[in-house]
Structure 1
Amino acid sequence: MSESNTGDGTTENSAVRRPADWEADRLRDLASEFGTPLYVVDPDRVRQNCERLLGAFPDATVDYAVKANTARTVLETVEDAGLGAECASAGEVRRALDAGFAPEEVRYTAVNPPAADLDAVVEWWREGADLTVTVGARTTLDALAERGYDGRLCVRVNPEVGAGHHAKVTTGDAPQFGVPFDDATDAASAASEVGEFVGLHAHVGSGVSGDDLSAHEVLVGRMAMLADELDESPEFVSVGGGFGVPYRREDPPLDLDAVADATRAAFDCDARLVVEPGRYVVADAGILLTEVTAVKETAETTVVGVDAGMTTLLRPALYDAYHEVRSLSASIDDRVPTSCLVAGPVCETADVLGEERVLPEPKRGDLLSVGTTGAYGYEMASTYNSRPRPAVVTLDGETVARRETLADLTRLEGGEQS
């Protein structure tokens, strides 16, 4: 199996990094040292993706959608590269501030924010964090006013156009996201009465590429038109992110320059353009390593049991998402290619990482890699089935998150709530 890399586990700054571009020897060493399942993240690749985004959007503000990957190493790399932070929860705001993002570069964009989140964000604002709060409902404005917040406000608008890689992440036309388009002008006026109205925000969906890009262009045009119609012109208009990445080997990389050109062409207004990519920054900067624990021949297929599953990587079970699975075993040249069902250790039919995947004849103890897992991989991991979450390390072998233990699973049980 070829390794199209530079020999030290890094790749040139190409538009996409495929699973085969990771150095197999290095991944085997990390699995041997840290065990499996194991997430590996490459900060150098994160930086390359940030640089590519800044190059494509030189006249815009590029904010990282923190929810894609909140690891401190990732956030510090993104901040150092010059991106801002778009946060979906108080926890993400705290992580961004702790990672070094200047408060004025942080936006809190929550959907139906819990009271505890608003309490925390407003308290940090009182302490001097001059961040921006994005509201998607008039009642959220009321909740902020009740807490004495009169800082920077952005209004999230439902653009009535959506797209994405799955119905569950298509947000632009879903009613829970943003004030109705026809109510946007009144919502902006109401925001000005509570605090300093500074921006508009909308997001078409996640994993947008190919034909879906036309929906993104429509959104950009609608938001630019809205900005020009307001009595008070906003400082910025955020048109979201959602830029797709190729998860399948045969999928072409996103033409980011073409996306940027189309975005600029549709953005006909005087406000500053803001984009909020998340997946594009980190997806191909991460990979998941897992060990084969069982091999079972059935009439339908060869079942390959592995120690990673839906508690490790939820996307296949939740979104029917595709991730390339590759064998990293050192001696596979003499093995017969075999169609396999790669399944995890959870007793649910959904716990499948890949179906009809052709692998060299699998054996117990083989090491497999699951590609393009830097976005929404570890972030969505859980302790369902009382399974500890995996460790996360950098390609250089630095620990990002230690492996949870069985003792960690019960650490919060009992005792008094602080």
Structure 2
Amino acid sequence: MSAATVRNPAVRRLADWSAERLRALADDHGTPLYVLDLDRVRQNYRRMADAFPEAEVYYAAKANTARPVLRALADEGAGIECASAGELARVLDAREAQCASDARAGRDDPRAGVAGSRVHYTAVNPPDRDLDVAVRLADDHPGLTITVGAADTLDRLAERGYDGRICLRVNPGVGAGHHEKVATGADAKFGVPYDRAADLAEDATARFEVVGLHAHAGSGISGEDLSAHRELVSRMGDLAREVESQDVELEFVDVGGGFGVPYRPDEDPLDLDAVAAATREALGEVDATLAVEPGRYLVADAGVLLTAVNTVKEAGDGAVVGVGAGMTTLARPALYDAHHEMRNVSADAERRPDREVTVAGPVCESADTFGDHWLADPERGDLLAIGNSGAYGYEMANQYNSRPRPASVVLDGDDVRVARRRETIADVTAVEPEDQA
């Protein structure tokens, strides 16, 4: 095992986090609290870039849009893939009027300052207001690529006077992922039908600069799903060769991301080098450059969620442990039945016997549970750490039950910075007109 491998292991387990440092962060910033380690994000990106040395790596920003994350990855050389106008506004220079409004309101500039040529906008059935923003930003940032998944969207862009860079999203008919709700590759919602894609790409050259093809199998793809990933890539290689034969000069073929991470301690990490080799082989010879869009893989194990125990209730042969975090803080367990490993990081936890308990949040829903976990016997006031929370954690946090969203901090070596302050009830109600009070 090389020194680089030791410094940059393929997965960071929950047990690798310093309990002492997590307790200090909770003391300083309160709970629930998202913690994200930028050094780990950088390590994950470098591993991905090393595995795909001849490919373009675009970070799927929807996994975690915290400004320090976007800036760190952009500094490492990553492009950014955006799924909405809001994400575009985070990474590009937003409208001057909006910036001035933010300054007057005392809000920090949320932009990451990424060049337009390093940004892809990949929307699904984009609302009119999103397209308006995308076209305006494309005018201000030459090189921005807009990915289109329907012929209607091409027409809507043309109606707005857009004639710039287009990537065509294709539905390859192959889906995979950790849950049926995220197996996008076989879902008709995503992309133009595979058998119509070549003709649509050729026709689009009359109105736009067609620069790429895109497909995505799904999210959280693991070893058992890799055959579907290879099939998707193979189909995209065949399509690229057909499109290139029609004198369409493609810059890239984007085969998406979805690279999975192990959420359970007994699961092995993804063999990224093997995946990269299989991807290159499946794509075959094309003139275009391969592009990949990792999201979860770069940030999941870089983050934990800290929450305090507020209730321990004996129930039959077991116990229900109530915590401050819930489905409004981390939605994945309620939405996907997702497992997130837990650890009691209280000062004396190691001296206690382990006990299987049900961990539940404060929302009045049966779905508001983190499932059953073996923990050092929990007591009221204990601090629990929830692993692999860096991806789709804060991004899916919401205000259901009028609950303010949690704070988020980033670690950069020894430095700690607040990425998002803790919301207050006043923040929750701020959008409501005062005359309705």
TM-score by length of 1: 0.95
What is the match of residue 17 of structure 1? 12
Report how far residue 300 of structure 1 moved.
4.4
Match of 1:104 among 109, 117, 122: 117
What is the match of residue 71 of structure 2? 76
Specify the SS of the correspondent of 1:240: strand
Specify the SS of the correspondent of 1:119: helix
User: 1:147-204, CA deviations, whole angstroms, 9 ceiling, x for partnerless residues?
Assistant: 0000000100000000000000000000000000011012102321221011000000
- The residue correspondences of 1:52-131 to structure 2 (distance < 5 A) are 52-97=47-92, 98-131=111-144
Paired with 2:258 and 2:300, the residues of 1 have a C-alpha distance of: 12
What is the match of residue 214 of structure 2? 201
Residues 1:158 and 2:177 aligned together: no
Report how far residue 333 of structure 1 moved.
3.7
Paired with 1:146 and 1:300, the residues of 2 have a C-alpha distance of: 65
What is the match of residue 337 of structure 1? 354
User: 1:72-110, CA deviations, whole angstroms, 9 ceiling, x for partnerless residues?
Assistant: 000000100111011100111111222121101101010
Contiguous gaps of at least 5 residues in structure 2 = 1-5, 93-110
| CA RMSD in angstroms, aligned pairs only | 1.2
TM-score by length of 2: 0.91
Match of 2:271 among 255, 271, 292: 255
What is the match of residue 44 of structure 2? 49
What is the match of residue 290 of structure 1? 307
What is the match of residue 322 of structure 1? 339
Residues 1:147 and 2:154 aligned together: no
- The residue correspondences of 1:206-225 to structure 2 (distance < 5 A) are 206-225=219-238
% identity of equivalent residues: 62
What is the match of residue 3 of structure 1? none
Report how far residue 134 of structure 1 moved.
0.5
Specify the SS of the correspondent of 1:338: strand
Specify the SS of the correspondent of 2:356: strand
User: 1:290-329, CA deviations, whole angstroms, 9 ceiling, x for partnerless residues?
Assistant: 0000000011421000000000000000000000010001
Specify the SS of the correspondent of 1:379: helix
Report how far residue 229 of structure 1 moved.
0.7
Report how far residue 129 of structure 1 moved.
3.7
Paired with 1:25 and 1:201, the residues of 2 have a C-alpha distance of: 44
Specify the SS of the correspondent of 2:374: strand
Paired with 2:141 and 2:364, the residues of 1 have a C-alpha distance of: 49
Count the aligned residue pairs: 405
Paired with 1:243 and 1:16, the residues of 2 have a C-alpha distance of: 13
Report how far residue 270 of structure 1 moved.
2.0
What is the match of residue 8 of structure 1? none
Question: Bigger shift: 100-109 or 306-315?
Answer: 100-109
Report how far residue 124 of structure 1 moved.
1.3
Paired with 2:52 and 2:401, the residues of 1 have a C-alpha distance of: 44
Paired with 1:152 and 1:33, the residues of 2 have a C-alpha distance of: 47
Residues 1:177 and 2:190 aligned together: yes
What is the match of residue 313 of structure 1? 330
Amino acid aligned to 2:234: G
Match of 1:280 among 290, 297, 317: 297
What is the match of residue 394 of structure 1? 410
Q: Do the aligned partners of 1:86 and 1:276 also contact (CA within 8 Å) in 2?
A: yes
Residues 1:362 and 2:378 aligned together: yes
Specify the SS of the correspondent of 2:184: coil
Specify the SS of the correspondent of 1:250: coil
What is the match of residue 31 of structure 2? 36
Match of 1:404 among 415, 423, 437: 423
Question: Bigger shift: 327-336 or 204-213?
Answer: 327-336
Amino acid aligned to 1:205: G
Match of 2:389 among 373, 386, 409: 373
Q: Do the aligned partners of 2:34 and 2:394 also contact (CA within 8 Å) in 1?
A: yes
Residues 1:351 and 2:368 aligned together: yes
Amino acid aligned to 1:77: A
Report how far residue 354 of structure 1 moved.
2.4
Q: Do the aligned partners of 2:115 and 2:141 also contact (CA within 8 Å) in 1?
A: no
Contiguous gaps of at least 5 residues in structure 1 = 1-10
Paired with 1:299 and 1:234, the residues of 2 have a C-alpha distance of: 63
User: 1:38-76, CA deviations, whole angstroms, 9 ceiling, x for partnerless residues?
Assistant: 000001100001111110000000000010000000000
Report how far residue 281 of structure 1 moved.
0.5
Paired with 2:294 and 2:152, the residues of 1 have a C-alpha distance of: 28
Amino acid aligned to 1:167: E
Amino acid aligned to 1:69: N
Amino acid aligned to 1:303: V
